[in-house]
Structure 1
């Protein structure tokens, strides 16, 4: 499994739970932190946790375990570290405040329009949808 595939699966899991303003940014050319950042926002604390939970659930069912989780008990930012892919799930206010897209503006934003339109069973074939 490539890091791009993992990032795309994370993005689809966020789409599935109505994540807002989902961005997939390739940062491997400008940083050794990870290959990709996946960034999304939720409309409430409950929504932020639901988004993070779904990413972890979907990827775990595909055999991809999260390496580290930060901020789960916070109400504004949950980070899921998959080593080569880091998923950031923010509240709307925290996303605006931290503005990771500006900080990582030299990264390459990936088009995810095909992911948003893709049926879940096509992206997660081993899971019952």
Structure 2
């Protein structure tokens, strides 16, 4: 699975658990860490955990190596490292506080609208 397919898998899994305000940033030209960062919001601690679980379960189904899952117990900011795709699942207040979109403002947005159900 290439990084674009991995990105699609993540977005669809998150959307299936009603993640809000999903954005994808193409960071491969400005960071050696990954090809994409995916940032999204969950409306409650439980929803953040459900979104994270859906992504992790789908990764297991697709035999994608999971580097680590950090912050799941606190559910304010969960980071899922899938190698070429790094996923950030936030509670709204925490997302606003850290403002990763501004921190990575030089990274172009990826059009993910085809993978999200309206």
User: TM-score with structure 2 length normalisation?
Assistant: 0.95
Question: 2-side partners of 1:33 and 1:42: how far apart?
Answer: 24
Aligned to 2:40: 40
1:7-86 map, 5 Å: 7-86=7-86
**After TM superposition, what 4+ stretches of structure 1 lie above 3 angstroms from structure 2?**
none
C-alpha displacement of 1:74: 1.3
C-alpha displacement of 1:75: 3.0
Instruction: Please give the per-residue CA displacement for 1:57-88, whole angstroms capped at 9, x wherever unaligned.
Output: 11210111311111111130000001111000
Asked if 2 retains the 8 angstrom alpha-carbon contact of 1:27 and 1:37, the reply is yes
In the alignment, structure 1 segments of 5+ residues that lack a partner are 118-129
Question: 1-side partners of 2:109 and 2:24: how far apart?
Answer: 6
Asked if 2 retains the 8 angstrom alpha-carbon contact of 1:45 and 1:75, the reply is yes
C-alpha displacement of 1:39: 0.7
User: TM-score with structure 1 length normalisation?
Assistant: 0.88
C-alpha displacement of 1:5: 1.1
The structure with the larger Rg is 1
Asked if 1 retains the 8 angstrom alpha-carbon contact of 2:65 and 2:83, the reply is no
Give the 3-state SS of the residue equivalent to 1:4 in structure 2: helix
Q: What value does the CA root-mean-square deviation take over the aligned residues?
A: 1.3
